[in-house]
Structure 1
Amino acid sequence: MNTVLYGIPNCDTIKKAKKWLSDNNQDYSFHDYRKDGIDSDFLEKAESELGWEAMLNKRGTTFRQLDDADKSELNREKALALLVQYPAMVKRPILFHRNAFHIGFKPAQYEEIFC
């Protein structure tokens, strides 16, 4: 199996993506950032395709609770280090399918990816 959904299970968007995958008979495995962890190797591979700006969830409570020093002057290296330290800040879901990374979930987006 080549399809992996990355995220945290209590996220509403993850729940919608899982439901879409199941409803459309797509085999996948789920990688829970909190249980299974996240490492810089994965983040660097995903970032090379998606960009760190797209991967960093600035709207979540984890990012908002960071001190100003962590939030200021963000760059690739600083953002990836924060994402390893705080996996809940990774925008969800990240989908790995057919050797490519995709971010976010919309039914039309998944239709395109899996067709």
Structure 2
Amino acid sequence: MITLYGIPNCDSCRKARQWLSTAGIAHDWVDLREHGVTPERLEKWRDALGDAALINKRSKTWRDFDEQERTRTEREPVPVLVAHPTLIKRPILETPTQTLAGFSANRYEAALAGAD
């Protein structure tokens, strides 16, 4: 099962969804704003990606945080990311064997070689 997590109005998410559709790769879409994300899934993403790849420091959410909130997020990101899923670098692509953050056609192609 391939799942793509993101938000509908994100350009990178749109590109990733279009790429998957054009490649004929079946996948589930999860809107992080609508459905959120569990702390358990975030911990799996942290293990696979690390905090630096998971926290989107270019997001409006990050820019709106004061220094204290940014420090708290860097120290213990899971509760903050649960509360503010737009702070997650996106899209997040989960395959049975890999987790990727962000969209790159080359990385997707390598990760999904042979996927239907």
SS of 1:72's partner is: helix
Whether the 8 Å contact between 2:98 and 2:111 is mirrored in structure 1 is no
CA distance in 1, matches of 2:97, 2:107: 16
Deviation at 1:103, TM superposition (A): 1.1
Are 2:108 and 1:110 aligned? yes
Unaligned runs of 5+ in 1: none
Which of 85, 88, 98 pairs up with 2:86? 88
The total of aligned residue pairs comes to: 112
Q: Percent identity at matched positions?
A: 36
2:23 aligned residue: 24
CA RMSD of aligned residues (A): 1.1
Unaligned runs of 5+ in 2: none
Deviation at 1:80, TM superposition (A): 1.6
CA distance in 1, matches of 2:30, 2:70: 27
CA distance in 2, matches of 1:24, 1:5: 14
* TM-score (structure 1 length as normaliser): 0.92
SS of 1:54's partner is: helix
Deviation at 1:36, TM superposition (A): 1.0
CA distance in 2, matches of 1:30, 1:7: 8
Aligned-partner residue type, residue 104 of structure 1: G
1:53 aligned residue: 52
* TM-score (structure 2 length as normaliser): 0.91
Deviation at 1:82, TM superposition (A): 1.1
